[in-house]
Chains A and B, each alone.
Chain A
Amino acid sequence: MTSAPFPTGPINAVSGTAIAVRGDDIDTDRIIPARFLKCVTFSELGPAAFADDRAELNGQHPFDQSAHRGARLLVVNRNFGCGSSREHAPQALMRWGIRAVIGESFAEIFFGNCLALGIPCLSVDHDTALAVQAAIEADPALELSADLETLELRGAQGPSWRLTLAAGPRQMLRSGQWDATGQLLANGAALTATASRLPYLQGFAAA
């Protein structure tokens, strides 16, 4: 399995070919079944993405089609990534090669887990999702670019589609500050002040 370098720094656009996985409410157990969680590193998860769905479809799953190998953009429908909080799900997708997810809506924990890896989850309306999925299926070589600056999804020719991303995550990705650890550690004094006013850390001493 070949894979581009993992995301680092500012993310202003994600470009490449795309892959469509259709269906609402695709949960993280389906993205990575629990038996693959028996590991102490994420490193081997890429080939296991959608393992059971792929077995069920017997080679017909998009992740098994050679035309979609190397895809960078994953296009999905509603409530993608619901269920378990397992970061193994976006880790598996990232290690398979996905660098951005475009869909009608996302489960909250999945969205946050992707953000923490530098993988934008961009929203589109229902008709757009279906149109983009159809375009990808018709032409797996179609190169798309998801632009976080203009919030447009564009092909080399043809239509462009409107993307939605909340201001906060967008700013974090574009500024390269999507990995929160450094920011959280920068506020030590403020954190100590917060802790000092929490009754349960102060023996419930009268205020």
Chain B
Amino acid sequence: MKQSPINLAVGALLLLIFVLLLFVFQVRTTETAVVTTFGRVSGLAGPGPHFRWPWPAQSVHKFDKRVHNFESKFEQVLTSDGNNLLISVYVGWNISDATAFLTRFNGDTRKAEASLEGLIRNAYSGVVGRRTFSNFISTDEKELKFVEIEQEMQTRIQTDCRALTNGLNIAFLGIKRLGLPESVTKLVFERMESEREVLVSQIKGDGERQASELKSRADYESAKLLAEADAQATKTLGEGEKIAARSFETFKQEPDLAIFLLKLKALEQFLQNRTTLILDDSTAPLDLLKSQNAGKK
């Protein structure tokens, strides 16, 4: 029986796999690798497959080069104007120099973050300590330096990293929390409460003032309308009187008659109804009665 070609192929394949496993390593796109030959750094490897001499000649140290999130502790810092401020920042860091990272931290991420914590603390005193409280918290846009402070801290930590050649890059830094010491929060509450009281009385006074303003304006408007109406009525009446005055010309012909007629009219209207008349019997036409009586006697 002859040697099967399939058997040979399978054997060759297995051998190849074995050799590849020994001589080739691959670096994921999210990683970076340092190759050491007999313990000394001999090269860097980017993503993809690479050749190596098998252990113990060469060894490969792979590091995650993605941006890591590190959050500093909530720490108390004294601002330049003497206020105590609690601050915590988050830092996005990644490995920019794998060799330096390996030599400085032995490739240990935790060690790197511990070192970062120290650098952040330095930045607190160096950057935050030179700022006033109102640079963090203020309604005045000019006073507020929130973004600048973050930028300064980032630049400072980045500079420190470069000086230390620890292979770390600071991708970004932001303030995560700001707070006040516990005892101060109590004082803030007291102040806020008194501010609320002031506000309540302000609102009350404000409401009363506005309401009375509205009311008095309404009264004024109404009075004005009435006065205008009165003026107009008087004017109208005046016009009427002016027309009436023209009749004088007519009455002037015989004033006695005019007066007599007007008197009659007035009398008639004046005594129109619900009148009680008490008359002397000498009044006309009752005088007629009297003379009749006299006649009978």
Do A and B share a complex? no
Interface on A for B, CB 8 Å cutoff? none
